[in-house]
């Protein structure tokens, strides 16, 4: 069986690495048909730091590139690249039987492995997608496999492939992924452990029929943050709040905004943030935003 994909494209990883753990992500893409994009490419990501990019036969390390030869030696890159490329060719051949001849097809594979801490392996996941839909998914955690196969393949055909694949997974893919992850963690310590504190603004805007108050935290890293709005000292319930999505700033930091529609009322509003970079919870009262001015960088976006 050949494993397939989905479009997680270039979103920062969400599940892993909120806690103390770390993960290595490899997202590869194969395009069949004429486009201006490379036929075959992949991106390697350590937590949410892009560490390398491969296209048209060349691997381009990103960021800190000194001393990484033993992590990404050329045999290793070639081995992985050839393997993935051939696997795409097989999948494409398999799926092409029911496709239009001159159509443009995109295949992707996502491979993720996790370390819960330096000695404990978390889950390893492989997802394949074709034309934007997941076709199969394999997860290995605590010595157990779980898998989903969406392709229309009979059990007789699937079973032997799956057994062989499981064996390779345990003996080869998982150990290789984990040792690569550990190597990157050593080489990229400074990036992985970097901290940037959130700059917070809490502001109010008039809109039709009332006001919208918004609390914006930006410029922080790592990405995990707790941003809470309070009304008279009580947390405002989630269903009243809009926003809350984590967005990348493009410089490796993140932002998050939470908003609330209010009418002209006499309640007191405040916003609190907790983040790894702060020794204590930061609390800002609406209207007292000036006191926090020293926290406000000129990078803040006002929408």
Binding residues vs ligand NAG (CB under 6 A):
224-226, 274-276
Contacting residues for 77 by C-beta, under 8 A, at least 6 apart: 54, 59
CB of 8 to ligand NAG, least distance (A): 23
- Would you call 94 helix, strand, or coil by DSSP? helix
Q: How far is the CB of 59 from ligand NAG (least distance, A)?
A: 34
- Nearer to ligand NAG (CB atom), residue 183 or residue 274: 274
**Contact (CB, 8 A) for 6 and 129:** yes
Cα-to-chain-centroid distance, residue 267:
38
Ramachandran category for residue 244: left, alpha or beta (phi over 0 → left; psi -120 to 50 → alpha)? left
In the bound state with ligand NAG, the residue whose beta carbon lies nearer, of 246 and 276, is: 276
| Residue with the shortest CB distance to ligand NAG | 274
Query: CB-wise, 41 or 274, nearer to ligand NAG?
Result: 274
As measured in angstroms, the least distance from the Cβ of 252 to ligand NAG is 18
- Shortest gap between Cβ of 113 and ligand NAG (angstroms)? 24
Least separation in angstroms between CB 117 and ligand NAG: 16
Q: Which is nearer to ligand NAG, 99 or 228 (CB)?
A: 228
Of the candidates 198, 197, 201, 199, which has an alpha carbon nearest to the alpha carbon of residue 287? 201
Cα–Cα dist 292/254, whole Å: 19
Report the residue number, 217 or 225, with the smaller CB distance to ligand NAG.
Answer: 225
- By beta-carbon proximity to ligand NAG, the closer residue of 103 and 281 is 281
Q: Which is nearer to ligand NAG, 82 or 117 (CB)?
A: 117
Instruction: Give the whole-angstrom CA distance, residue 269 versus residue 289.
Output: 12
Handedness of CA 164, 166, 170, 173 (dihedral sign): positive
Q: CB 276 → ligand NAG: shortest distance, Å?
A: 6
Nearest approach, Cβ of residue 230 and ligand NAG (Å): 15
Torsion angle of C-alpha atoms 87, 88, 93, 98, degrees rounded to 10: 130
- Quote the distance between the C-alpha of residue 62 and its chain's center: 17
d(CA 95, CA 49): 33
Q: What are phi and psi of 221, to 5 degrees?
A: -160, 140
């Amino acid at each position: 069986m050949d494993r397939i994909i989905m479009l997680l494209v270039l979103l920062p990883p969400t599940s892993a690495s909120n806690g103390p753990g770390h993960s290595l992500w490899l997202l590869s893409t194969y395009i069949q048909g004429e486009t201006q994009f490379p036929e075959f490419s992949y991106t390697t990501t350590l937590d949410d730091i892009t560490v390398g990019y491969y296209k048209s036969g060349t691997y381009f390390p990103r960021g800190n590139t000194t001393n990484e030869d033993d992590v990404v030696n050329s045999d290793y890159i070639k081995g992985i690249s050839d393997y993935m490329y051939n696997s795409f060719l097989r999948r494409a051949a398999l799926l092409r039987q029911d496709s239009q001849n001159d159509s443009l097809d995109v295949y992707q594979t996502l491979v993720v492995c996790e370390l819960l801490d330096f000695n404990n392996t978390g889950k390893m996941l492989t997802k394949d997608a074709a034309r934007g839909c997941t076709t199969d998914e394999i997860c290995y955690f605590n010595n157990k496999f779980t898998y989903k196969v969406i392709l229309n393949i009979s059990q007789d055909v699937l079973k032997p492939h799956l057994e062989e694949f499981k064996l390779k997974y345990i003996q080869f893919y998982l150990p290789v992924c984990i040792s690569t992850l550990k190597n990157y963690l050593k080489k990229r310590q400074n990036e992985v452990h970097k901290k940037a504190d959130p700059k917070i603004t809490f502001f109010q805007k008039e809109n039709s029929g009332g006001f919208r108050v918004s609390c914006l935290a930006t410029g922080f890293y790592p990405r995990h943050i707790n941003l809470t709005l309070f009304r008279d000292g009580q947390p405002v319930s989630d269903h009243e709040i809009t926003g809350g999505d984590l967005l990348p700033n493009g410089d490796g930091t993140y932002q998050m905004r939470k908003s609330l529609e209010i009418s002209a009322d006499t309640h007191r509003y405040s916003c609190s943030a907790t983040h790894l970079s702060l020794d204590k919870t930061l609390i800002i009262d609406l209207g007292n935003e000036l006191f926090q001015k020293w926290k406000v960088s000129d990078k803040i976006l006002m929408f």
